[in-house]
A and B are shown apart, each in its own frame.
Chain A
Amino acid sequence: MTTMIRVDVQQQDFDLAAEYAAVRGKADNPGAVTIFSGLVRELQDSATADQSLTLEHYPGMTEKALQNIAERACDRWPLSVCRIIHRIGTLLPGDQIVLVATASSHRDAAFDAAHYIMDYLKTSAPFWKKQVAGEQGFWVDSRASDHEAAARWQHKQD
């Protein structure tokens, strides 16, 4: 089975319904489609109204990293479609940041591949987030829990 992989790094927002329709249309006899979207959360400990999240990335390497993660997922699970969109630039609370969609004959592959892709994307794709609240800005720290989540995939039995 040839898997259709498509990755995009872009500033503009994506239309979840349109992406789902595209995945469903391209998939080869799918029994399952998994869609994950990641959103910008509000800072709970900040009272300021003007919060934003700025996503910086490494042009060139980012696309390669996402393509590599998608290919590894397709090697490990029988997917017919794998779609990743990751936004960059300045986003507001509630905005969509990332989309991962997978299609397969059965649900385990679709669920697990999407989960795997997100866990690797958190730690292995060259994006950096800066949280801005009013005049203050601080770079979000990489989390040990994200690295542990990615590492667990090395030991799991599929």
Chain B
Amino acid sequence: MFNIHYFASVREQLDSAGETIDASGDINTVADLIAVLSSRGGAWSLLEDRNRVLVAVDQAVADREQRLTGNEEIAFFPPMTGG
């Protein structure tokens, strides 16, 4: 299972704070997972925008080519504004 979290404006635009998704043979990379989520249509296509949406895998920033094994925590969020 992928344990997915959405933060800040991404959460608001998707109207979802998170969900779990079954791992499947089709999801080998972060990009694959994004394709699955984006295929829902509507606001979900915002996840495709690499400039506006960053990804973390197991609480570390990751690029979209990162491989997944099927039980990671994934988070999608806008560029950070701390400090």
Contacts of B61 on A, CB cut-off 8 Å?
A: 124
Residue of A nearest to B9 (CB): A139
Contacts of A125 on B, CB cut-off 8 Å?
A: 80, 82-83
Q: A123-B80, A125-B80, A128-B81 are in contact. Are A139 and B8 (CB under 8 A)?
A: yes
- Whole-angstrom distance from the CB of A141 to the nearest CB of chain B? 7
Residue of B nearest to A143 (CB): B81
Assess whether A148 is interfacial by the CB under 8 Å rule: no
Sorting the interface of chain A by its residue count into under 10, 10 to 19, 20 to 34 or 35 or more gives 20 to 34
Cβ–Cβ contact A128 & B78, under 8 A: yes
Cβ–Cβ contact B7 & A56, under 8 A: yes
Assess whether B77 is interfacial by the CB under 8 Å rule: yes
> Among the listed stretches A23-31, A58-66, A102-110, which one makes contact with chain B, having 4 or more residues with CB under 8 Å of it?
A58-66
Digitize B8-19: 1 where CB-to-A-CB distance is under 8 Å, 0 elsewhere: 110000000000
Residues 22-76 of A at the B interface (beta carbon under 8 Å): 38, 55-58, 60-61, 64
Q: A56-B7, A56-B8, A128-B78 are in contact. Are A121 and B83 (CB under 8 A)?
A: yes
Cβ–Cβ contact A142 & B78, under 8 A: yes
The complex places the Cα of A122 from the Cα of B56 at a distance, in Å, of 17
Cβ–Cβ contact B83 & A140, under 8 A: no
Assess whether B39 is interfacial by the CB under 8 Å rule: no
Cβ–Cβ contact B56 & A128, under 8 A: no
Assess whether B75 is interfacial by the CB under 8 Å rule: yes
Among B9, B60, B82, which residue has the most Cβ atoms of chain A within 10 A?
A: B82
The complex places the Cα of A118 from the Cα of B8 at a distance, in Å, of 21
Residue of A nearest to B10 (CB): A128
16 more A-B residue pairs beyond the given contacts A128-B7, A141-B81, with a C-beta to C-beta distance below 8 A: A38-B83, A58-B7, A58-B75, A64-B60, A86-B83, A121-B82, A123-B82, A124-B80, A125-B83, A128-B8, A128-B81, A129-B82, A139-B8, A139-B78, A141-B79, A142-B79
Please give me the 7 A-B residue pairs with the lowest Cβ-Cβ distance, nearest first. Answer: A142-B79, A127-B82, A128-B8, A61-B59, A122-B83, A125-B82, A121-B83
